[in-house]
């Protein structure tokens, strides 16, 4: 069963609280990331995440010691899912896993999710940053490294889901942004699919921001996406 995360990308606490309340009961978790955390800080994260599942999407990418320390500092927020960049490499991912395990003795550990290739990048953009091959090849390469180094799952676009499931099976937690209901504006997302197509291709979680938060009725937009997932 594919679960739905609403991405609450706003610097405004009242707006974030309004979006969280409007989508309560229609989504399985809220995502808070750079925009909200930098503007409002982590007390506000804790307040919004009370009684909600949290996807803390800060995409940590630094030397191993710094990422491990960052995750130890974030652990009290008890997110269900937390992100790092797979491109940080084996040692960084291994230390990240270790830090979470040590910080969460006796309670549930956040799942460590490694971002492979941002869903805003297409093949051309990847080549510009020096990556040869297709987005799918790069996702599989970074995915293999991240899972071997200790990540519980990956962020990928819906387009790579079939290849990831064929290669790594059912176990990795696959978290999938780049979701657009039929006819919705793609914005800055390059590798997109509909909620239903992503669910059929094996997403564990889909992450949807603007198609919900930019709607006149965010609760109803989330409800419709959830209905598409379960149809
Ligand atoms: O590769 C990635 C990793 C994370 N995201 C995040 O997902 C949401 C998507 O928002 P939309 O408004 O539905 O485009 C956003 O918070 C991103 O930071 C991603 O899009 N791609």
Dump pLDDT digits (tens) for 140-156.
Answer: 999 999 999 999 999 99
Can you tell me the distance from the alpha carbon of 152 to that of 131, in angstroms, rounded to the nearest whole number? 24
* Selected residue with higher pLDDT from 157 and 231: 157
Which pLDDT value is given to residue 170?
97
The pTM (predicted TM-score) of the whole model is: 0.98
57 is catalytic: yes
The interface pTM score, or ipTM, of the predicted complex is: 0.99
pLDDT at 230: 87
Protein residue whose Cα sits closest to atom 16 of ligand 1: 7
Residue 231 is predicted with a pLDDT of 81
As for how many domains the chain has, the answer is: 1
Kindly give the number of the ligand 1 atom that is closest to the alpha carbon of 179: 13
Each residue of 49-85: pLDDT tens digit?
999 999 999 999 999 999 999 999 999 999 999 999 9
Q: Which domain range does residue 31 map to?
A: 3-230
Task: For ligand 1, say whether the CB of 210 is within 6 Å of any of its atoms.
Answer: yes
pLDDT tens figures, 4-53: 999 999 999 999 999 999 999 999 999 999 999 999 999 999 999 999 99
pLDDT in tens, 87-133: 999 999 999 999 999 999 999 999 999 999 999 999 999 999 999 99
For the question of residue 51 being annotated catalytic, the response is no
User: For residues 80 and 111, is the Cβ–Cβ distance under 8 A?
Assistant: yes
CATH assignment at residue 14:
3.20.20.70
Distances (CA, A) of 4 to 7, 34, 150, 168: 10, 20, 24, 22
């Amino acid at each position: 069963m594919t679960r739905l995360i609403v991405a609450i990308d706003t610097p405004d606490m009242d707006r974030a609280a309004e979006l969280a309340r409007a989508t309560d009961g229609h989504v399985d978790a809220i995502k808070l990331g750079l925009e909200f955390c930098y503007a409002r800080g982590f007390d506000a994260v804790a307040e919004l995440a009370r009684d909600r599942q949290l996807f803390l999407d800060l995409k940590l990418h630094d030397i191993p010691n710094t990422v491990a320390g960052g995750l130890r500092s974030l652990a009290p927020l008890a997110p269900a899912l937390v992100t790092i960049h797979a491109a940080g490499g084996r040692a960084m991912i291994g230390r990240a896993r270790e830090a979470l395990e040590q910080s969460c003795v006796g309670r549930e550990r956040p799942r460590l999710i490694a971002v492979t290739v941002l869903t805003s990048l297409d093949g051309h953009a990847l080549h510009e940053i020096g990556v040869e091959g297709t987005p799918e090849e790069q996702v599989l390469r970074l995915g293999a490294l991240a899972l071997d180094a200790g990540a519980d799952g990956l962020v990928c676009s819906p387009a790579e889901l079939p290849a990831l499931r064929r290669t790594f099976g059912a176990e990795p937690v696959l978290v999938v942004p780049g979701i657009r209901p039929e006819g919705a504006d793609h914005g800055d997302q390059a590798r997109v699919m509909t909620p239903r197509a992503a669910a059929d291709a094996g997403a564990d979680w889909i992450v949807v921001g603007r198609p919900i938060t930019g709607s006149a009725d965010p609760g109803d937009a989330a409800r419709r996406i959830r209905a598409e997932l379960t149809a």
